[in-house]
Amino acid sequence: MIRAVIAAMSWLVVAAVATDDAGAQQAIPNSPGWQMAYEADMCVLSRAYATKSGEFVFGIRSTLPGVDMVGLQIVTEGMTSRKRERQLATISVPGQDQLWQGEVTLWPAPKLKQTLILGSVPRTLLTPIAAAQEVTIAVAGQEPVTLPISAAKQALKALEACEADFAKTLGIDAAQSMNVKTPAEPAKTVGDWIRFEDYPKSALQAGVGGTVSILWEVDKQGKIASCRTIKTSGREDLDKAACDALMKRARFNRPALDAAGNPVASYGTRQVVWAIP
């Protein structure tokens, strides 16, 4: 079956993954510190660790200041997957049973002997992670990994600076984006905005896929005002299909709100991965 895979876009409320932090692999930092990468369509904050199973790179992907969700990005040699699949995952810190639970997508890279793990987590998760001494990440079917955390607060400031720069390149006022205190409320599950039937026939017939990054604006009335490509897939039909589907289905119960509860315009970004299994 042909389907469009929405990377780091959908999130579900699911049963918790049972983890035993005491039995987790203890990782050791194998890099001088946090690395801040300015990508064409996002900011990526990461740190590399060494585990008994190999290298483990923990990363946070973000775009604009104030956007309520950020991307979780892990590159690991220790978690193996033979096929692209979705699994349950948890993030926890000492003193709290669980900070987050949800689904992640595992993308195997056999030739590199690595697995790429992508997910989407609330931005509010970053504060307790930065304040903790360590964080434990568990993916169903894999051995949990505990990462020592240090200098994370300074790293988050670097991430915020990157987000402000990224907003400027898109012609967006970073202060306006930061003004959002309560995000716009989707009327339906965000993961339902783009479906497999949206796959362009031209790309399907050619047997090709691609990844496109899109940006949309929700106005003060809670309606989608615009959608545009911020990083092309390399095919106009795939880029256009992503925004067309979003403009067709994205609906909100209410707009974003500022600290005083007033309606304000807001933005959202996601990567859309068109793939033929």
pLDDT digits (tens, 9 = 90+) for 72-131: 999 998 767 778 889 999 999 998 878 999 999 998 888 888 899 999 999 989 999 999
Give the model's confidence band at 192: pLDDT under 50 very low, under 70 low, under 90 confident, else very high: confident
User: Which pLDDT band, with edges at 50, 70 and 90, does 11 fall under?
Assistant: very low
The answer, yes or no, to whether residue 17 has pLDDT greater than 60, is: no
Contact between 113 and 92 (Cβ < 8 Å)? no
**What radius of gyration, in Å, describes the C-alpha atoms of the chain?**
19
The DSSP secondary structure of the chain, one letter per residue, reads --EEE-TTT-----PPPP--GGGSEE-EE-SSS-EEEE-SS-EEEEEEEEETTEEEEEEEEE-STT-SEEEEEEEESSS--SS-EEEEEEEE-TTSS-SEEEEEEEEEEGGGTEEEEEEEEEGGGHHHHHHSSEEEEEETTS--EEEE--SHHHHHHHHHHHHHHHHHHTT--HHHHHT-SB--EESS-GGGSS-GGGS-HHHHHHT--EEEEEEEEE-TTS-EEEEEEEE--S-HHHHHHHHHHHHHH--EEE-EE-TTS-EE-EEEEEEEEEE--
Structure confidence by residue, pLDDT tens digits, 260-270: 999 999 999 88
Mean pLDDT rounded to a whole number for the chain: 86
Q: 19 pLDDT exceeds 90?
A: no
pLDDT one-digit tens code per residue, 155-172: 999 999 999 999 999 999
Over residues 11-16, the mean pLDDT reads 23
Structure tokens at 93: 């810190």
Residue predicted with more confidence, 226 or 24: 226
| Record: fold of 179-275 | TolA/TonB C-terminal domain (3.30.2420)
- The answer to whether the pTM exceeds 0.95 is no
Q: Domain residues of the chain, as ranges?
A: 3-164, 179-275
| % of the chain exceeding 90 in pLDDT | 62
CA 176/CA 153 separation, integer angstroms: 23
Mean pLDDT, residues 173-183 = 88
**Span 3-164 CATH architecture:** Sandwich (2.60)
Q: With contact defined as beta carbons under 8 Å apart, do 193 and 238 qualify?
A: no
Q: What is the pLDDT of residue 236?
A: 97
